[in-house]
Amino acid sequence: MAFRFDLQAVDGRARYGKISTLHGEFETPIFMPVGTRATIKGVTSQHLRDMKAKIILGNTYHLTLRPGDELIRDVGGLHRFMDWQQPILTDSGGFQIFSLGHLRRLTDEGAVFKSHLDGTLLELTPEKAVKIQENLGSDIAMVLDECPSANSTDEEIQIAVNRTILWAKRSLQSQRSGTQSLFAIVQGGMNLKYRQFCAEELVKLDFPGYALGGFSVGESPEQMHALLPECASMLPELKPRYLMGVGRPIDLLEAVDAGIDMFDCVMPTRNGRNGMAFTNRGIVRLRNSMHQREMLAIQSDCSCYCCQTTSRAYIHHLLHCDEMLGGILVSLHNLHFYLELMQECREAIREQRFQQFRQQCLAQWALAV
């Protein structure tokens, strides 16, 4: 088996573990930088290695449109294509299709949608999503799911849950790869009853890992934080748990506290490009004129490339000139911050002091800089 998860320590609900894949192993809790189109925006693969990223994300929907999953297969797979020889997880495209809104039509068979690029009518089925991800050659693939929005009716959620279970079964059946692991996705909106049903049905199918989908889709952070411990506890103890598309540092911390192991989010890079930095003393908005003459780093005690070489004044200048290096430098810092936060969580869990660490983070982040 290429895939293996070892739960090595537990502190309260928080977990420390190790995941092995064909392309190497990594420790959890882990943050995965998002490389939707086979690139983490503005960041080279060397930057990612330097900041000790261990696993990154690619996206089925975007990569099948451009450059095409068969092209990527033909040129040796996504790892080689994007110069990343460590683990890769690919998202199934379910969330992207959900985001297309009126551009899509869902049936039990699959999703028919219009390409956001040229309006071409395309179809994505659970089987196709598996096939595409096998072409991409990722280490971990996600099943196609239906993600209901936060204001869906109970009936809509029920349909989405049933479809998600049906599609998970068909995904498993269509799997051909012996080295790629398929994770199931639990849906059910903010309704614990549906979440429970969905989780139970999916757990019966014995996937190597389970994700929580349908969070950060419009509900309040408090609502999400409140639901996570119960949702995590519905999942098998000895399998990795992945909270998809979440979120701010505080969301990751609360989710680790709830027993989640894996995370991805575009915030470090998207907000970085807009000049918003995450620090151990809270948010720093580098476009703000207060930073114009500030020769201190974004975070003085940070060991990232950006903080070791440049000042807030320099980044402020670059952002105001629309120089891409500004957004790149803040992205590098933010990714490092997320990776370091997970590293500190892992240490705290191993040393049985996670609550203490969590309280300390919450207190520090509340400070404004």
Q: How far is the CB of 73 from its own copies (least distance, A)?
A: 11
Annotation marks residue 264 as catalytic = yes
Helix/strand/coil (H/E/C) assignment for every residue in 65-119: HCCCHHHHHHCCCHHHHCCCCCCEEEECCHHHHHHCHHHEEECCCCEEEECCCCC
Asked if 325 interacts with its own copies (CB under 8 A), we say: yes
Instruction: Give the tokens for residue 2.
Output: 């290429």
Selected binder of its own copies within 75, 121, 290, 362 (CB under 8 A):
75
- Exactly one of 69, 139, 261, 264 is catalytic; name it: 264
Instruction: Give the tokens for residue 369.
Output: 């800089």
Three-point CA angle 218, 222, 226, nearest 5°: 110
The CA radius of gyration of the chain, in Å to the nearest whole number, is 20
Asked if 291 interacts with its own copies (CB under 8 A), we say: no
- Residues sharing a CB contact under 8 Å with residue 49, sequence separation 6 or more, in sequence order: none
Annotation marks residue 11 as catalytic = no
Asked if 116 interacts with its own copies (CB under 8 A), we say: no
282-285 vs 276-279, strand pairing mode: antiparallel
The Cα 196–Cα 202 span in angstroms is 10
Helix/strand/coil (H/E/C) assignment for every residue in 136-189: HCCCEEECCCCCCCCCCCHHHHHHHHHHHHHHHHHHHHHCCCCCCEEEEEECCC
Selected binder of its own copies within 97, 318, 330, 342 (CB under 8 A):
318
- Exactly one of 91, 139, 145, 257 is catalytic; name it: 91
Closest to its own copies by CB, 71 vs 362, is 71
Asked if 52 interacts with its own copies (CB under 8 A), we say: no
Name which of residues 253 to 272 contact its own copies (CB under 8 A): none
Closest to its own copies by CB, 305 vs 360, is 305
Q: Which stretch binds its own copies (CB under 8 A): 53-61, 185-193, 253-261, 305-313?
A: 305-313
Q: Which stretch binds its own copies (CB under 8 A): 178-186, 209-217, 233-241, 317-325?
A: 317-325
Q: For its own copies, how many residues bind (rule: CB under 8 A)? A: 38
Q: How far is the CB of 284 from its own copies (least distance, A)?
A: 18
The Cα 252–Cα 134 span in angstroms is 29
Q: Which stretch binds its own copies (CB under 8 A): 77-85, 95-103, 151-159, 225-233?
A: 77-85
Q: Which one, of 122, 118, 144, 121, lies nearest residue 131 by Cα?
A: 144
Q: Which one, of 164, 115, 112, 113, lies nearest residue 143 by Cα?
A: 164
Any idea which residues carry the catalytic annotation? Answer: 91, 264
Q: Which residues bind its own copies (CB under 8 A)?
A: 37-39, 41-46, 66-67, 71, 74-76, 80-83, 292-293, 295, 305, 309-311, 313-314, 316-318, 320-321, 323-325, 328-329
